[in-house]
Amino acid sequence: MNLTVFSGPANLPLAETVAARLGVRLGQSVVHRFPDGELHVEVQESVRGHDVYLIQPTSPPVEARLLELLLLADACRRAGASHLTAVVPYFGYARQDRRASGWEPVAARLIADLIAAGGLGRVVAVDLHTAALEGFFSIPLEHLSAVPLLAERVRPFVPDNAVVVAPDLGAVKLAERYAGLLHQPIAIVHKIRITGEKVSVRGSWATSRAGRRLLWTT
């Protein structure tokens, strides 16, 4: 089965690098806007019977990037692609995975449903906000991690007295992974989100390299 890689506008250099590493040519497509603001997407080569990968982080502006991905997927599906996989290194709305007040949507679940409804058969994501998001998808999700690669890259620049900081309780597991790979202590901030822009810090604590709690401040 032929392999074809397309890129949305979100990160063309990333898609070009991936295609080069795979030894394939990046597929030709066009994404632009009509004067009224509507998106127009067109694939410019045959994908009939192909295994198609669409590389498109849903980074800001999230709504535009998401719609570009969905339109690319629909164009490929209607052009006869056999399999469609979305490669989404940054998954927008991943933090909205629950209702804090009971008066909000579960946006992460809605986005997962939209991706599945768009005809995609699989999603590849990198270091999601929480691994529990896998349960939101009705299609297979490949959850990859860049933590070992990133930790190895920064290791030469990490001083002996460094501390890995988790900015909130939700980031503790990720910070612990970095701390373990870098052999550094970890500090955790107890943060309460008030609005999308305002937070309140109630306290913080740190642990030694051996995992013992050292201090608590308020």
Annotated catalytic residue within 111, 191, 195, 201: 191
What distance in Å separates the CA atoms of residue 111 and residue 94, rounded to the nearest whole number? 9
Are residues 206 and 189 in contact, defined by beta-carbon separation less than 8 angstroms?
A: no
For the question of residue 173 being annotated catalytic, the response is: no
Are residues 24 and 73 in contact, defined by beta-carbon separation less than 8 angstroms?
A: no
What distance in Å separates the CA atoms of residue 161 and residue 169, rounded to the nearest whole number? 23
Beta strands in the chain (DSSP E): 3-7, 29-33, 39-43, 51-55, 83-88, 122-126, 141-144, 164-166, 186-193, 199-207, 213-217
Are residues 15 and 7 in contact, defined by beta-carbon separation less than 8 angstroms?
A: yes
Amino acid identity of residue 187, one-letter, is: A
What distance in Å separates the CA atoms of residue 165 and residue 158, rounded to the nearest whole number? 13
What residues act catalytically?
191
